[in-house]
Structure 1
Amino acid sequence: MRFIFILFIFFSSLMAFDNSKKVTLQLQWKNQFQFAGYYVALEKGFYKDLGLDVKIKSYKKGLNITNEVLQGKSNFGIGRSTLLIDKSNNKDIILLNAIFQTSPLVLFSLKDNNINTITDFMDQKIMINKNQTVTIAIKGMLNSKNITFDDMQLYKRTYNIEDLISKKIDLMPGYLSDIGYKLENKKINYKIFDPKDYGFDFYEDILFTSTQYAKDNPQIVKNFQKATLKGWEYAFSNMDETTELILKKYNTQNKTKSAYLYEVNILKKEHIIKTNLLVI
């Protein structure tokens, strides 16, 4: 009788696993604390508890996240504020949660150069990729002072801060929580130009899906949101544990623990991430 009971439990668990819905999430950048809530929701079983078998897909250079979702290659994606432009261009997407309540994306320059105001950007060398030239906040900040990217020398982005330090370029965009740490760690004095200081404050790291997927799978979307937000709440309530998790399983950038702790502290200090997240 006991043997039959054990078999029953075993096959019941297999059936429960088989009934779970496979879901894919496409990240918009390399693994770091920026996506901690998703990692935690996966590793702590928050997705599984709601019947979701989630796969987190790593970022690949040149990937168009919006098209990835619209073409059904991923069920959910994380995008920048440029998703608002996609939506205005009739892209069939629905924005679910703004994970970053304010954008950590700023422009960096060295403190000892002659760039002190936005108008000083004229003819300066900026390292930026095509996607970031349409980033709403940065573009708005420039336009507010009658500067456009056409007024600057555009360099293809290498993501290497040594290009800034060596003065190969004059300006580069990046997250305050990432590039700021790298420069401070090298004891490099720098300046930032933050769109928020010019009245351009937008959401960032927006969780989204296609309108069709949301229509066809309303419960999956609801459960994915619920588990994700639970993951973020846990990540910020248990920062040290979450950092150790990233170091152990998601540290593809080979960052140090201090780098991750710097990142999370900046995000909290700047009120970039809140546990009470806005649903769009």
Structure 2
Amino acid sequence: MPCLLGYRSPLRWLLFSALLITAPLAAADRPELERVVLQLAWYHQFQFAGYYAAKHQGYFREAGFEVEIRHGGHDSYGRPIDPIEDVVFGRADFGVSRSDLLIYHSHGLPVVVLANIMQRSPLVFLTLEEHGFTRLEEVGERPISVTLPDVDTRLSAETLASFHRAGLDLAQLNNHTPSWKLEDLLDGTTQLMPGYLTDAPYFLEAFGAEPVTITPESYGIDFYGDLLFTRTSMLEDRPERVEAFRNAALRGWAYALDNVEEVAELITEYYPTRSPLYDIHFLHHEAEKLRSLMQPELIEIGYINPSRWENIADVYLELDMIEHYDLEGFLYQPPADPDGADLKRLGRWALGGSALLLLAIALASYLLMINRQLRHEVTRRHKAEEALRELAEKDGLTGIDNRRLFEEHLQQCFAYARRHKQPLTLIMFDVDHFKQVNDSHGHLAGDRVLVEIARITQQELRTEDHFARYGGEEFAVLLPNTDHGEALQVAERIWRANRQHQVTSDAGPIGYSLSLGVASLDESDRTPHDVVKRADERLYQAKRQGRDCYFGAADYAASK
């Protein structure tokens, strides 16, 4: 360590000396601040804290910008503000949007992603416990208000994809334009509406309600949340200015996450929120939720992962929302060595041969140090991507596959079984009266039950079987090359093993039972979700028959 300090101290002294020589010229040559507009995607709140911090900490000014930050709720006529439209048509220079930006790019709009701020999407579908359903499949004729193409101009591919994966016919839904007002949910005007995980459940609980959240991730939809973007011409004409703005914004985000109380007070003082409910206490809550969506401990803020974007594009292709995509023109790649560019500019400002010599020595030393840092950064990114892949594919509680990975296996196994005319069977099951377990023993005990179910069930499966937590207390088992009779035997083993098992808790042993539905691939099946729908129907038939049992094709037919 002493050697490292001894090495770097002369470098700092050399750079400091060069800056002393060149500072007067640099100050005289500094341009006026460039005025730019940043268009947000919603009203002011901690969701955009990094941009407020970059402005008030002077990061934007240091980069040469005077930034106007505009909220993105509704305009004076009550119309929703579209950041993409404002940026493309030059009413704003930078904007905040979401993963749907790729759809616009694929349709020819000149937009480019500069940074992914939220690694996970905050979008959820909200209902209340009193309405009596926890899945999109149970919507039926209930009044709902979600952002589907028939009622809302602001496209939400996450919503459309989730409803598609749930097997719902959009034309049959009792859907109305969402107001985004929680009062509509509380008074029963709607029984399902979109919201953000960062705020809506907080307010519903404050109103004394018991919110139920249904996530797109439960249907295998794993999109990015907020991202920073600009128009393509801005990047092509002024790449250095775009990079300067991006760096300043990311500095602001790092500051905001490290100084939550200070930035929350800043928002309340300078940025009028949607209503008085968005007070300092809420902003602290929102900051905590936002950190879990950004995951700064795992991956650097703003990092763009092309593989994640390819998965998102595949969902759009599945929905026929795009015909093709080109990520190369859509995803911005920052320069590998932006600080090196600063040193080159410093070299142009240097006066006299001695200053140039000092800079040459400093630059050579600096590049050596940067080379070491880059090697370290490559290793760190590989580890971060592995961690993100684990988060993206595994259920955080039980450690088994999550629904997103299950959907991938389902698509692959369905296609393989159809092509090679092999059997394929699916078992869907969930825990009987699981709410009573939570109410009687607490949510920690309920979590323990789910973990034990995963452990016990895995012991009854083969290595080639795919076992996933499908959502909440519901699980799915995909059995390749397994006919219906064999699958019923597996279902019985799962049912019996769990029925005989008890989970240890502080209040004593907890017994539980399962209801299971079994369905096999049929020649008439057009999509994998036809199999899922039948298995799900048989699961619920098992519940209607008194629970604690399993239903296959013959049982289901006999019950009709």
Provide the TM-score with structure 2 as the length reference: 0.46
1:24 corresponds to 2:33: no
Between the aligned partners of 1:166 and 1:13, the Cα distance in structure 2 is 61
Between the aligned partners of 2:187 and 2:60, the Cα distance in structure 1 is 45
Alignment of 1:125-164 (within 5 A): 125-129=143-147, 130-131=152-153, 134-164=155-185
Ranges in structure 1 where 5+ consecutive residues have no aligned partner: 1-11
SS at match of 2:226: strand
Query: 1:84 corresponds to which residue?
Result: 102
SS at match of 1:54: strand
Between the aligned partners of 2:73 and 2:205, the Cα distance in structure 1 is 28
Number of residue pairs aligned between Structure 1 and Structure 2: 267
Q: In structure 2, do the counterparts of structure 1 residues 224 and 95 end up closer, same or farther at CA, with 3 Å as the change threshold?
A: same
Is contact 1:99–1:273 with CA below 8 Å preserved after alignment?
A: no
Is contact 2:38–2:68 with CA below 8 Å preserved after alignment?
A: yes
SS at match of 2:91: coil
Between the aligned partners of 2:192 and 2:286, the Cα distance in structure 1 is 21
Higher-Rg structure is 2
Shift of 1:64: 2.3
Flag the structure with higher helix content: 2
Between the aligned partners of 2:73 and 2:125, the Cα distance in structure 1 is 23
1:249 corresponds to 2:270: yes
Superimposed CA distance per residue, residues 174-228 of structure 1 (whole angstroms, 9 cap, x where no aligned partner) = 1011111111111210111101122111012121111111111111110111000
Question: What letter is aligned with 2:86?
Answer: E
SS at match of 1:59: coil
Query: 1:236 corresponds to which residue?
Result: 257
Between the aligned partners of 1:101 and 1:131, the Cα distance in structure 2 is 25
Between the aligned partners of 2:204 and 2:248, the Cα distance in structure 1 is 35
Shift of 1:56: 0.9
Among 285, 302, 306, the alignment partner of 1:277 is: 302
Flag the structure with higher strand content: 1
Is contact 2:126–2:192 with CA below 8 Å preserved after alignment?
A: yes
Q: In structure 2, do the counterparts of structure 1 residues 122 and 264 end up closer, same or farther at CA, with 3 Å as the change threshold?
A: same
Between the aligned partners of 2:163 and 2:270, the Cα distance in structure 1 is 39
Is contact 1:103–1:272 with CA below 8 Å preserved after alignment?
A: no
Is contact 1:24–1:75 with CA below 8 Å preserved after alignment?
A: yes
The farther-off stretch of 59-68 and 42-51 is 59-68
Question: What letter is aligned with 1:232?
Answer: W
Q: In structure 2, do the counterparts of structure 1 residues 14 and 260 end up closer, same or farther at CA, with 3 Å as the change threshold?
A: farther
Shift of 1:15: 7.5
Among 197, 201, 207, the alignment partner of 1:186 is: 207
1:215 corresponds to 2:236: yes
1:97 corresponds to 2:112: no
SS at match of 1:271: helix
Between the aligned partners of 1:131 and 1:230, the Cα distance in structure 2 is 34
Q: CA RMSD in A?
A: 2.0
Shift of 1:79: 1.0
**Percent of aligned positions that are identical:** 30
Provide the TM-score with structure 1 as the length reference: 0.89
Ranges in structure 2 where 5+ consecutive residues have no aligned partner: 1-25, 75-79, 305-330, 332-560
Among 62, 68, 91, the alignment partner of 2:86 is: 68
Query: 1:7 corresponds to which residue?
Result: none
Q: Name the structure, 1 or 2, with higher relative contact order (CA <8 Å, separation 6+).
A: 1
SS at match of 1:192: strand
Is contact 1:82–1:135 with CA below 8 Å preserved after alignment?
A: yes
